[in-house]
Amino acid sequence: MTASPASAVHMTVTARKLFDSDFYLALETLRSEAGGPADTGHRFERLMRRAFETHHEYGPERFERVWLWLEWPERKALGYDIDIGVDLVAQQTPAYGGGLCAIQCKNFAEHRKVPTKEINSFLATSGSEDFVSRILVVTSDLEKAGWTKVKKASPRCEVIGPAVLDSWDAPWQEFLDRPDEFTFDRTKRHKPRSDQRDALDAVAKGYQDGSRGRLVMPCGTGKSLVAMWAAEENVGQAARCCIWCRRSR
């Protein structure tokens, strides 16, 4: 890759397979121990409920409380049925604008794409005036038609994919049997995976020949985290760096 100082540096990184990660090993254990697809899904939802309550970016900062769909106090009063695609409901903090966030958790094996029909009800329900934001959690990729629907969804639908979940430094395996006690290890700082390290090396190499660049990575591979690391490694201790992060609403 070569570039003049005035030209943009294009750095494309392909996502590595995550199927040997701690996160996927935990999912395999969950599926093998569960009493079928419904039990697998319910256990994953309980795990994610607690993860959203305790994660440093979602917990106290964004969400005051996260309920399982059937335990959400306002469900019946607002006329919602038992199963319409939403798995979790979170109350956002005043600092985040308040209101409710609808969350769907789809736990599919890594070799299976999440069928578009599996997210249709969620997108329809979460688009109502009762919710101000929405998050789709997936353990594998979406179908092409599914990505198209998500990208065109209004209000915006945030997607948390397997690479992001794997980067959360969570002891998934430890809490499979007691999801309500799930917590993050605050003593460890996450380190770049091999594909993210390749991206950081590409950024550093690009800046050797140019003064600016563009990093292109697939959805769900940790772009924001890599951008933060790139700033830390390339800007230097005495300099300043501004990172623009779009806020989900």
CA 92, chain centre distance (Å)? 17
Q: What is the pLDDT of residue 101?
A: 96
Backbone phi and psi for residue 53, each to the nearest 5 degrees, phi listed first: -70, -30
pLDDT digits over 113-141, tens only?
999 999 999 999 999 999 999 999 999 89
Which pLDDT band, with edges at 50, 70 and 90, does 65 fall under? very high
Distance between CA 24 and CA 223 in Å, rounded?
A: 20
pTM: 0.69
Assess contact for 133 and 98: CB atoms under 8 A. no
Number of other CB atoms surrounding residue 78 within 10 Å = 10
Q: What is the pLDDT of residue 214?
A: 82
pLDDT digits over 152-181, tens only?
998 899 999 888 888 787 778 777 878 777
Distance between CA 74 and CA 84 in Å, rounded?
A: 15
Q: What is the pLDDT of residue 220?
A: 67
Which structure tokens are listed for 172? 């998934």
Q: What is the pLDDT of residue 23?
A: 80
Question: Which of the listed CATH numbers 1.20.1250.20, 3.40.1350.10, 3.30.160.270, 3.90.220.20 matches domain 22-181?
Answer: 3.40.1350.10
- Rg of the Cα atoms in the chain: 19
pLDDT top residue among 41 and 174: 41
CA dihedral 117, 131, 246, 67 (to 10 degrees): -80
**At CA 167, angle to CA 169 and CA 150, rounded to 5?**
135
118 CB-near residues (< 8 Å, 6+ apart) = 106
The structural domains of the chain, with segments of one domain joined by +, span 1-16+193-249, 22-181
